[in-house]
Amino acid sequence: MTDREEVLAVLGRLADAWNSGDAAAYASLFTEDADYVTFFGMQLPGRELIESSHRALFGGPLRGSKIGGPGDASVRFPREDVAIVVSGGGSALDGGDAVAQGRESTVTFVLVRSETGWLITAFQNTRVSDPRAAA
């Protein structure tokens, strides 16, 4: 498996964990000191906080929601042990496959190669919007 395929496989496992509502499996794909920035700008530093916040989300407002895998992602390797992935994203709140209108995002991941494989060390989720509407 190529590095690109390995990185995309991690993101596929991330989507699988989300879709099964498994906060522990979701958080396990991040480094202990990961930085996670939500679509509304909240920073969740560290794997423990990523897990606890997603446990609350999966048990509450995002229960049953679904996300897709990395799809048509841009993957680049600025160093052999670092990958940057930019992809479309979003969630379906009704458990379906289609991203709900208004929930489209652009997501950025930074992954690092560890002794056990690739792990996510930074994540940024930015909601897609029309900047003219913010004026």
Mean pLDDT of 63-80: 89
Mean pLDDT of 128-135: 69
Looking at residue 48, its pLDDT comes to 98
> To the nearest whole number, what is the mean pLDDT of the chain?
90
Spell out the domain ranges in the chain: 3-130
Decide if domain 3-130 falls under CATH 3.30.420.40.
Answer: no
Closest C-alpha among 107, 95, 120, 96 to residue 39: 107
Q: Which residues is 43 bridged to in the sheet?
A: 37
Going by the DSSP 8-state scheme, the letter that residue 131 receives in this structure is G
Q: What is the enclosing helix (H) or strand (E) of 56? A: helix 47-59
pLDDT tens for residues 21-65?
A: 999 999 999 999 999 999 889 999 999 999 999 999 999 998 998
Closest C-alpha among 26, 105, 25, 96 to residue 65: 96
If one counts every other C-beta atom within 10 angstroms of the C-beta of residue 95, the result is: 10
If one counts every other C-beta atom within 10 angstroms of the C-beta of residue 93, the result is: 14
Looking at residue 101, its pLDDT comes to 66
Kindly report whether the global pTM for this prediction surpasses the value 0.95: no
Which pLDDT band holds residue 112 (cuts at 50, 70, 90)?
A: very high
